[in-house]
Amino acid sequence: MDFDDTPKERAFRQEVGAWLDEALDDIPPQEGLSEAERAHWSRIWQERICAGNWAGLSWPVEYGGRGLDSTAQAIFNEEAELRGAPYPLNGVGMYLAGPTIIVHGTAEQKARHLPGILSGTEYWCQGFSEPGSGSDLASLQTRAVKVDGGWVINGSKIWTSNAHNADKCLLLARTDPDAPKHEGITYFLAPMDRFTVRPLVMLNGDAEFNEMFLDEVFVPDEDVLGGVGNGWRVALTTLAFERGTMALSLWVWARQAVDRLTDLAIERGLADDTAVLDALGALYADAEAVRIGSLRMIGETQAGGAPGPETSALKSLWAGVVQEANRLAVQLDAAGGVLLDGEGAAARMRHYLRSRAHTIEGGTEEVQKSILAERVLNLPRSR
């Protein structure tokens, strides 16, 4: 496989870069900003993406998108990350909700939701994980009971990104408690107006995640996506889009973490330290492996395949690179980061603390290894 851009991709990358350079001109570097400031610029960035017709690059033209392939979306995300752009506040809407609705939604659902996502007027979050079923998603216990005209839902969700800004939720709930756990789940496009949302403050002081409580929340029948009892199949579509969309962003984040470590090693006078050089070399190689693996996955998808277990390998490798790079950066600070000598060391500690979540969010490390064991090595199911 050729890992270089084709002439068409190179031209698109130049187009993207020119637009990004102009659109980002007045947006400050996100490093060092408070959580509220980052959210402010994320919202502004979302508005600019929508206004510039970059919100639905890979969506079909008939649904308001530009009809480009997944590589175009990956290139846009990669170039935006390389320039330090804020993460768009409605990433769940653009990359997960919209594509999933396009695949599984009715004509009415598409007409009702897709224009708002493309225009930036309808924000989404993803209500999958629960306090007792984060790693084993199919064991979720949020319950939906059929009533006249819809469903009454009770339960709770946790680790919900951007729930405090969302209007709608991609919600999984159990509609048949007697069915096998993968078969009794239904996928809802739920309005957020009756959810109770509470922030979860992380180790680094940020509160980008939330817990959500549903107490007698009514969701009409027209907000069932993909049919009653088909929620697991629809959820797998969402997860596939999530992993595919993040592909080239992951390697950029990994490389940025390694680059920060390299700059720190030079600053500390360790450019000739053999142990440090060995560690940097291994991390650079792993970051490059994430890039190449991502390109291979995108190429296979374009050839008609679907994201498979290789996404678990990429996610696991990426998480390891970012965690190790940030751990070593803190270790190079005085007293292993305990004595923080200024703003730079404090920022490194925030990066380190945030990176601890990478082997939990988006599927735990244990889940990723189980997927590889079962689907690649054909080992017996572990759960």
The question of whether 108 is a catalytic residue gets the answer no
DSSP 315-358: HHHHHHHHHHHHHHHHHHTGGGGTS--SHHHHHHHHHHHHHGGG
Q: Which of 37, 241, 30, 250 is nearest to 126 (CA)?
A: 241
Question: Per DSSP, what are the bridge partners of residue 188?
Answer: 171, 224
User: How far out from the chain centre does Cα 128 lie?
Assistant: 13
C-alpha 252/C-alpha 114 separation (Å) is: 29
Across the chain, the runs of DSSP E, i.e. the strands, are 124-127, 143-147, 150-158, 168-174, 185-191, 196-200, 209-220, 224-225
Catalytic residue among 122, 242, 310, 324: 242
Retrieve residue 69's tokens: 């392939």
C-alpha 22/C-alpha 66 separation (Å) is: 21
Q: Mind telling me the catalytic residues?
A: 242
